[in-house]
Each structure stands twice: as structure tokens, then as C-alpha cells.
């Protein structure tokens, strides 16, 4: 789908991802002053509703719903009630992927929009809250695979926010959602940019970040949310600065009861190849009946143990995840990982049980599941040889930041150890990635170039990934012409499992370079 090539990737974001995560940082209206004039708008931020809002941000949904319900009778004309209901529902849907609940709750969207429509037209909250409801459902619909409907929700939300900014230019909360959309639309791959233009959607990454930072600076109440959106955009679309990396580590320690912050610290650190650090935040994450059930945390524990080579422990966590998770994403991927936990230690009989489950389970909405289905099909057809076990072990170790382990594994083979073009390309990409992550980018360049040369006809994914990294290396050397050429090269590869995420990252980098 054109307008949101990376907007459905999920929590993991490996997963996926960014929007699945960004959905969890939407916000509520802050009463700049509560006076008689404002009260007639029926936007009343009572103490209990404020607490409910922050409870939702901590993923303490049972407490939040109880607080909302205590206010429902006395505040029946308060526009924040339907908004908070929606805010809580969306957190639940994004975490649980409960299809039955999605079908039921989605029927409440129009009722809530109608309730907000009762606000007077001269209220800056009217369009703002309506846009927020639509953005919530946009991301929910994308999460559940309803791409066309989700895209129209984004378009409607964008139009409402732009109109609100024009009518009420001093109403700063508008900038938080608009800033997010401006960054995401500005990151749309060039070959889809014409769609945004036809629909009247204008994106600009730098402007979007500036809008978010105005909110961070000017509205203390919204500072945390705007900053979290800012961090997520840099983690999954742009690049994190050292200061932002430190902030991600410090934040959960400041709020030990905030499950959301622990989750984001875990996933972002894993994405940055720092799984050993991520394991700390995962272990410290609060849990219990006060919090929404979050099976995905077991999946993350499985991922870290797989990266470390602790295959038995990883297998246990993946099995727990599959047993208690009612959702549909990461099912194929988890079965593939269970296959790997056995195949990589030569337990072929047990491995074959899980590889057969990949095709008949879950969905293919996210890249991780698409890749799992492709690998399963290739293995069953005999295209994946035992020689590739070393590449998979090195890949997982590299992803987790266990670089000494990865390097030692790759020292046991050479390009000649592999037969197919794809295996040879992957060997060179893995060598390059290990060297780059180890602080030797110059040494990685020949391996990335070799992978590019091998992928003129095959293994497009490794070619695109190599070109992307060469672009980043050139950018670090301030070699803008080569950086631009490599980023464009990365986007030129067709039909590979990482195209959405690589194209978005390359597009974002080109935008910062004025392209």
C-alpha cells in the first residue's frame, strides 16, 4: 500500500516497524486554563481523567478503565471520556492483536467521532480530538491488515490537523500529531511520493521534528510524549544521537513502574544491536495484574537468547509466547525461530516439526513473517543447505551485538565455502556488518561492495542492505555525492523482504541531504 510502506511494521518493530510502537505514544488534550469559557466546550481534564491518562501510558489499563468509569456519569458530556475510552482500547488492541475485540471495538469509532462532533466549531479541541481518534484507528487498521481503510484514516486526520493549525495557529497540541505525520509522510519512498502529492499530503522530516520539539519546549504536560515520539522517529526512521541513546537508558530508571518505557528501551536497544543492555530493561519491566497482559515480552526474551546461542532457553520463551498470545503477527517468525533452535544444533527431526508449521500459521503482514515464510519454503524445497548454519548463527549474534562471537564464527569459513550466489552475498554482507559494528567501517567497505557486485541478478535483499550501509559510511565521512548514490542504489532493488524498511531509511537519509 502506497502511503504507509513502513507504517504497519509492528512493535518490533524488528518489527515492524515503527508505527506499531508510535501508536502507543499518542496523547490527550491539556487544559491550558480551565475557566468558564473552556468548560462550555466540554473538555474538562478532571484529576481522575488525568490519572487515567497517565495510567494508560504506563500500560496499567485495568486501573485506567476503572478511573474512566467512575467519571462517566458525572462527566457524561466531557469529550475526554470517549477519547480516553479510545486511547485505552487502542493500547489493548495493539498489544493483544485480539481480532474479536478489534471487530467489536472498531464499531465504536463513529460513535466516538459523533460525540466529539458535538463540540462547537470554535473549539480548537474539536478537530484535534477527531484527528486523534482517526489516527488511533488508522494504526489499528494497519496493524490488523486493513491497509486501504487505515490509509484513508491517516488522510482524514492529516486534513483535520492542517485545518486546525490554520484556524488556531497558537494551539500547540496540534503540532505533536502533525509533526509525527510530517516526518512519516516525508519518509515515503520516492516511487510513492506522487500518491501523497495527489492527496494533498505534505511531509518534511526536519519541519516535523521541529514541530515536535516546540511541544517539548513549550508544553511541559506533553513533554514526555513528544520526546518519546521524537526518539521513536529517530530510532526507526532516522538515527539516534548519543544524547538520545542515553535518554532511552535513563528514562525507565526514572519511572520504574512504567511498562511502556521499559518495552521501548528494550526494543530500541535490541534494534541498535545492544541486546545485553536490552535484557536488563526486560528483566526490570514491571508486571502483574495491574498491567495489561503482554505476551510479546516472552518473544523478546526468546530473541535475546537466540542471539546469544542459548537455544534451549530461547525455545522455552518462544513456546510460552505462542501458547498465550492471541494475536497473528510473529507466529510464523516464532515457528521459524523454534526450527532454528533445533536445526542449528543438528536436531533435525525436531526442527522439521516447526518448519512445517510456518506455512500453515499466522499472517504475512510484517516483514519478519514474510521472511519466515520465504525461508521455510526454501528450506522445504532444498534450497537452504547445512552450510548456512554458520551464517545464521553469525547473523543472530551480530543482530544482538555479540560481535566477538559473530566474528569467531565467520573466521571458520570463506566465500569459497558457499555455493550459491545468495550464500556468497550473505557471507560478504555479514563480514561487512560485523566489521562496521565493531568500529572498523573502512574495513567493511570491500565486503559490502563485493555483496553489491554479487547481487546484480540475485539476492536483492543483501544488495539493498549493503548499499544502505555504504550510504551511511559515506555520510559519516561527509562524502555526500557517494552517500546520495548509495542511498538511491539501495532503493533501486526490487522485490525483497526488507524493501519497505530499507526504502524508508534511504528516503529519510536522502531527504536530510536535500534530495
Q: Give residue-wise pLDDT tens across range 293-335.
A: 999 999 999 999 999 999 999 999 999 999 999 999 999 999 9
- How far is the C-alpha of 499 from the C-alpha of 192, rounded, in Å? 13
- How far is the C-alpha of 106 from the C-alpha of 92, rounded, in Å? 13
- How far is the C-alpha of 228 from the C-alpha of 265, rounded, in Å? 11
Sign of CA dihedral 454, 457, 459, 465: positive
Is residue 364 helix, strand or coil? Answer: coil
Question: Measured between alpha carbons, how far is residue 160 from residues 13, 220, 291 in Å?
Answer: 28, 24, 33
Report the chain's mean pLDDT, rounded to a whole number.
87
Place of cell 519491566: 285
Which of 228, 175, 327 shows the shortest CA–CA distance to 25?
A: 228
pLDDT in tens, 348-378: 999 999 999 998 889 998 889 999 999 999 9
pLDDT-derived band at 191 (thresholds 50, 70, 90) equals: low
Span of 14-28, 119-133, 134-148, 501-515 with lowest mean pLDDT: 14-28
- How far is the C-alpha of 231 from the C-alpha of 252, rounded, in Å? 14
Q: Per the confidence metrics, is the pTM higher than 0.85?
A: no
Distance of CA 54 to the CA centre of its chain: 22
CB atoms within 10 A of CB 255: 15
Please say whether the beta carbons of 371 and 379 come within 8 A: no
Q: What is the pLDDT of residue 385?
A: 87
pLDDT-derived band at 189 (thresholds 50, 70, 90) equals: low
| Cell triple for 334 | 516464532
Q: What is the pLDDT of residue 28?
A: 32
Percent of the chain's residues with pLDDT above 70: 89
Q: What is the pLDDT of residue 267?
A: 95
186: left (phi over 0), alpha (psi -120 to 50) or beta: alpha
CA angle 434, 438, 444 (to 5 degrees): 55
- How far is the C-alpha of 287 from the C-alpha of 296, rounded, in Å? 13
Res. 4: pLDDT tops 70: no
Please say whether the beta carbons of 266 and 285 come within 8 A: yes
Element (H or E) spanning 115, and its range? helix 109-116
Is residue 514 helix, strand or coil? Answer: coil
Res. 384: pLDDT tops 70: yes
Res. 39: pLDDT tops 60: no
- How far is the C-alpha of 448 from the C-alpha of 445, rounded, in Å? 5
pLDDT-derived band at 495 (thresholds 50, 70, 90) equals: confident
Task: Report H helices in 23-145.
Answer: 36-39, 47-57, 61-72, 80-96, 99-105, 109-116, 124-143
Q: What is the pLDDT of residue 457?
A: 64
pLDDT-derived band at 8 (thresholds 50, 70, 90) equals: very low
- How far is the C-alpha of 345 from the C-alpha of 309, rounded, in Å? 10
Amino acid at each position: 500500500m502506497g502511503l504507509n510502506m513502513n507504517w504497519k511494521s509492528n512493535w518490533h518493530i524488528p518489527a515492524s516497524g515503527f508505527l506499531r510502537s508510535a501508536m502507543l505514544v499518542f496523547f490527550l488534550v491539556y487544559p491550558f486554563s480551565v475557566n468558564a469559557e473552556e468548560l462550555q466546550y466540554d473538555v474538562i481534564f478532571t484529576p481522575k481523567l488525568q490519572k487515567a491518562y497517565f495510567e494508560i501510558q504506563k500500560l496499567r489499563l485495568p486501573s485506567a478503565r476503572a478511573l474512566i468509569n467512575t467519571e462517566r456519569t458525572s462527566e457524561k458530556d466531557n469529550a475526554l471520556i470517549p477519547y480516553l475510552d479510545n486511547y485505552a482500547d487502542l493500547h489493548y488492541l495493539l498489544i493483544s492483536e485480539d481480532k474479536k475485540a478489534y471487530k467489536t471495538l472498531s464499531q465504536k469509532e463513529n460513535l466516538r467521532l459523533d460525540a466529539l462532533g458535538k463540540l462547537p466549531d470554535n473549539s480548537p479541541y474539536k478537530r484535534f480530538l477527531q484527528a486523534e481518534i482517526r489516527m488511533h484507528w488508522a494504526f489499528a487498521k494497519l496493524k490488523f491488515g486493513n491497509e486501504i481503510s487505515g490509509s484513508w484514516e491517516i488522510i482524514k486526520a492529516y486534513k483535520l490537523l492542517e485545518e486546525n493549525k490554520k484556524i488556531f495557529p497558537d494551539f500547540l497540541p496540534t503540532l505533536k500529531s502533525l509533526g509525527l505525520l510530517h516526518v512519516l509522510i516525508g519518509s515515503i519512498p520516492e516511487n510513492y511520493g506522487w500518491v501523497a502529492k495527489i492527496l494533498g499530503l505534505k511531509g518534511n522530516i526536519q519541519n516535523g521534528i521541529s514541530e515536535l520539539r516546540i511541544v517539548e519546549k513549550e508544553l511541559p504536560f506533553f513533554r514526555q510524549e513528544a520526546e518519546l515520539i521524537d526518539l521513536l522517529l529517530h530510532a526507526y526512521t532516522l538515527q539516534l544521537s548519543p544524547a538520545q541513546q542515553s535518554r532511552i537508558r535513563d528514562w525507565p530508571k526514572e519511572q520504574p513502574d512504567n511498562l511502556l518505557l521499559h518495552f521501548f528501551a528494550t526494543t530500541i536497544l535490541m534494534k541498535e544491536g545492544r541486546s545485553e543492555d536490552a535484557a536488563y530493561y526486560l528483566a526490570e519491566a514491571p508486571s502483574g495484574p495491574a498491567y495489561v497482559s503482554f505476551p510479546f515480552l516472552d518473544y523478546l526474551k526468546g530473541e535475546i537468547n537466540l542471539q546469544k546461542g542459548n537455544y534451549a532457553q530461547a525455545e522455552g520463551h518462544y513456546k510460552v509466547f505462542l501458547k498465550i498470545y492471541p494475536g497473528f503477527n510473529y507466529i510464523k517468525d516464532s515457528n521459524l525461530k523454534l526450527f532454528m533452535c533445533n536445526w542449528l544444533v543438528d536436531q533435525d527431526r525436531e526442527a522439521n516439526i516447526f518448519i512445517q508449521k510456518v506455512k500453515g500459521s499466522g499472517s504475512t503482514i510484517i516483514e519478519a513473517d514474510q521472511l519466515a515464510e520465504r525461508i521455510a519454503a526454501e528450506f522445504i524445497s532444498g534450497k537452504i543447505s547445512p552450510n548456512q548454519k554458520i551464517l545464521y548463527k553469525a547473523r543472530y549474534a551480530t543482530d544482538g551485538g555479540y560481535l566477538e562471537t559473530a566474528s569467531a564464527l565467520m573466521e571458520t569459513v570463506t566465500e569459497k565455502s558457499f555455493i550459491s550466489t545468495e550464500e556468497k552475498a550473505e557471507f560478504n554482507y555479514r563480514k561487512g556488518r560485523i566489521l562496521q559494528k565493531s568500529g572498523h567501517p573502512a574495513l567493511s567497505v570491500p565486503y559490502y561492495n563485493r555483496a553489491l557486485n554479487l547481487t546484480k541478478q540475485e539476492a536483492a535483499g543483501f544488495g539493498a542492505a549493503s548499499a544502505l550501509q555504504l550510504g551511511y559510511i559515506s555520510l559519516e565521512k561527509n562524502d555526500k555525492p557517494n552517500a546520495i548514490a548509495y542511498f538511491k542504489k539501495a532503493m533501486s532493488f526490487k522485490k525483497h523482504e526488507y524493501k519497505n524498511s530499507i526504502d524508508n531509511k534511504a528516503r529519510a537519509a536522502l531527504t536530510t541531504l536535500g534530495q
